Amino acid sequence: MSVTLFDNPLWDRAQPRLSVLIPFKGDDPCPLLAALGREAVAVEIIILDDGTGDPALSAAVQAVVADLPLPTRLVTLAANEGRAKGRNRLVSHARAGHFLFLDSDMAPDSAGFLSTWLGLIAQDDPAVAFGGFSLEQVEPRRDQALHRAMAAHSDCLSASERSLSPEKHVFTSNLLVRRDVFAAEGFDEGFAGWGWEDVEWGMRVARRWPIRHIDNTATHLGLDPASVIAAKYEQSAANFARVVAAHPEVVSAYPSYRAARLLRRVPLRGLWRPLIKAFALNDLAPLPSRAFAMRLYRAALYAEAV
């Protein structure tokens, strides 16, 4: 695969304590890069253009990288290679002892976001830590109302809540990993499309190392319209099956698994499943009912995998 590297003037002489790893495909990572650049700390940034194929966006990102006051490398791929493989590739360029995976549509919620991570490294040298994410900086939009409601209910949890199931709440949106841990357990490149590759990684890692949860959140700016959520769930069914096959003892405790097992017994799924989807996509329906319908639709999709 064709790979192009672009380093800013600070890259060669850097001695980072933390490597910040950011993949993107289509989303504009420039606001995130600018926010990170406001902290004068010992970190490097490695950003992966995973086959975006947008010359204007690529040029804009390169211009930001060139002027960023932190050592930064831009890795540009001619073709998309996927979420798991792309993140493994990012690690191959990292030089620090810890990696911080960030999604390109995130925004740090505090001015000392990177400093907090560096402080945790200096004090505890954690194997794995997740900082959490929020919706603090997202302006409400009607077309994103369903995603906002679902994320607020199940994803935007405090560290104490996440710690009750530490391996379940591991997402590459704001994830710290020590180098030796990732050398032993990288992302499974057998996953394709959207979903579950980070949670599956957390299941493997939790067998050998503790997973720490802290409150050092970043806002998820990239909320999706309901139709995009449904499409992602449709993509994720095969990935869910892969997780079930690898970790049945863990997944069997998840509500999504139990719901899928229950719905598997219900006949004529091909007839009623589209009706549930249609209700979830209906902007005129009550939001709590739509959220329930979307979760039910996901479980109906996953019923084929269990």
Strands 98-102, 174-178: pairing is antiparallel
Summarize pLDDT for 82-102 with one digit per residue, the tens: 888 899 999 999 999 999 999
Q: What is the pLDDT of residues 190-222, one digit of tens each?
A: 888 788 898 899 999 999 999 999 999 999 998
Same domain, 116 and 260: no
Whether residue 104 sits in one domain with residue 195: yes
pLDDT in tens, 284-306: 999 999 999 999 999 999 998 88
Say what percent of the chain tops pLDDT 70. 100
Segment 11-33 shows an average pLDDT of: 95
pLDDT at 154: 86
Mean of pLDDT over the chain: 93
| 51 & 187 share domain | yes
CATH of the domain at 29: 3.90.550.10
The angle at the Cα of 157, spanning 155 to 160, to the nearest 5 degrees, equals: 140
229 and 179 part of one domain: no
In a shared domain, residues 156 and 248: no
Beta bridge partners of 129: 176, 212
Whole-number percent of the chain with pLDDT over 90: 74
Give CA–CA dist 196/97, Å, rounded: 25
Do 222 and 148 form a contact (C-beta atoms < 8 A)? no
Please provide residue 254's backbone torsions phi and psi, each rounded to the nearest 5 degrees. -80, 140
* pLDDT at residue 79, rounded to an integer: 86
**Predicted confidence band at 70 (pLDDT cuts at 50, 70, 90)?**
very high
Q: Is 175 exposed, middle or buried (0-12, 13-18, 19+ CB in 10 A)?
A: buried
In the chain, the N- to C-terminal Cα span, in Å, equals 36
Query: How many structural domains compose the chain?
Result: 2
Considering 202, 224, 246, which residue would you say is the last residue of a domain? 224
Is residue 134 domain-shared with residue 242, that is, in the same domain?
no
Across 134-163, average pLDDT: 93
Is it the case that residue 184 has pLDDT exceeding 90? yes
DSSP the chain: --EEEEE-TTSTT---SEEEEEEESSS--HHHHHHHTTS-SSEEEEEEEES---HHHHHHHHHHHHH-SS-EEEEEESS---HHHHHHHHHHH--SSEEEEE-TTEEESSTTHHHHHHHHHHHH--SEEE--EE-TTPPP-GGGHHHHHHHHHHTS--HHHHTTSTTTS--TTEEEEEHHHHHHS---TT--SSSSHHHHHHHHHHTTS-EEE----EEE-----HHHHHHHHHHHHHHHHHHHHH-HHHHTTSHHHHHHHHHHTSS-HHHHHHHHHHHHT-TTS-HHHHHHHHHHHHHHHHGGG-
- Contact of 299 with 259, CB cutoff 8 Å: yes
Task: Tell me the HSE value of 202 on the side-chain side, using a 13 A CA sphere.
Answer: 24
Q: Residue 306's pLDDT is what?
A: 81
Q: What is the dihedral of CA 170, 173, 176, 182, to 10 degrees?
A: 70
- Do 133 and 255 fall within a single domain? no
Same domain, 203 and 241: no
pLDDT tens for each residue of 219-250: 999 899 999 999 999 989 889 989 988 889 88
pLDDT at 1 over 80: no
Range of the domain at 16: 3-224
Q: Supply the pLDDT for residue 48.
A: 96
What is the reported pLDDT for 20? Answer: 98
Q: Are residues 136 and 182 located together in one domain of the fold?
A: yes
Do 160 and 24 fall into the same domain? yes
State whether 198 and 129 are in the same domain: yes
In angstroms, rounded to a whole number, what is the distance separating the alpha carbons of residues 294 and 280?
A: 5
pTM: 0.92
